[in-house]
Amino acid sequence: MQPLASVESVAPAEVGAAESPAVEVPAVESPAVAVAAMPAPAVAVESPAEVAAAGNGEAPLESVALSPAAGLAADLPVRTPAVDERDQVLGVRCDNSHFNDPRRTDCAVCGQPLPNAESAVQPGPRPSLGVLVLDDGNVFGLETDYVLGREPQNDPEVAGGGARPLRVADPDGIVSRRHVRVALNGWDVQVVDLGSSNGTTIEVPGEPEPRSAAPHQPVVIVPGTRVNMGRRWFRYEALGRP
């Protein structure tokens, strides 16, 4: 069996980009300039508690490839960009102001009981719903939709900015160019087979047999679910408390 190739995030800007001819520029010798050595800036590493809290704070989680994945999803560091572009959803806040799925009875971050009164439901920015753990160890935060395949940058949703592309290398060609979409709908994570040639199977925890995903039909998945695209696969894991 051949070793699995890597999965990489592809910038949507690659879509439609024409390849420019190479231009050779002659080298120009510059005078030597003495540059004082500058110490490298310190990089802060978030603790697991900070990771979980970041999904409920003031800034969204950014998808960052981490290789290899180490430990549970709650132990994975996730960086946060400066601009909050998260979708607004209805949720409930605990006494510590963590924003939660209104279907929960306790806070996903701190475990505090959640109010069950209808008046407690309010709109707010949706925190990260977890991570995708790829078969090669790469990890991507679930704060937006993804399209996976051999050429996901050609998907209309990627081109329109509605999803991020994850390119899956597959020399055998079993993975389609646009194979699967991972979509966030409210507080749910969905998998949609995009009419792939060889199909998509879903392994749900506790079920003895994998399911076959019907083309273009969203399937809600739970943490621990494995999604197979031929020999390639990924697993959905949640952040925080189950």
Per-residue pLDDT at 127 exceeds 60: yes
Residue 212 lies in a domain: yes
- Residue 71 structure tokens: 């430990």
- For the entire predicted model, the pTM comes to 0.67
Residue 235: inside a domain, yes or no? Answer: yes
Residue 140 belongs to a domain: yes
CA angle 184, 156, 174 (to 5 degrees): 85
Contact 176, 147 (CB under 8 A): no
* Structural element, H or E, at residue 237: strand 232-237
CB 89 within 8 A of CB 186: yes
pLDDT at 7: 56
Q: Are 178 and 146 in contact (CB under 8 A)?
A: no
How are beta strands 164-168 and 7-9 bridged, if at all? antiparallel
Mean pLDDT confidence for 77-93: 71
Residue 189 belongs to domain spanning = 129-242
Question: Could you tell me if residue 147 is inside a domain?
Answer: yes
Return the CATH number at 224. 2.60.200.20
Segment 44-72, tens digit of pLDDT? 333 333 433 444 433 332 333 333 333 33
Nearest one of 237, 226, 11 to 140, comparing CA atoms: 237
- Give how many domains the chain has, as a whole number: 1
Between CA 193 and CA 147 the distance in angstroms is 10
Average pLDDT for the chain: 76
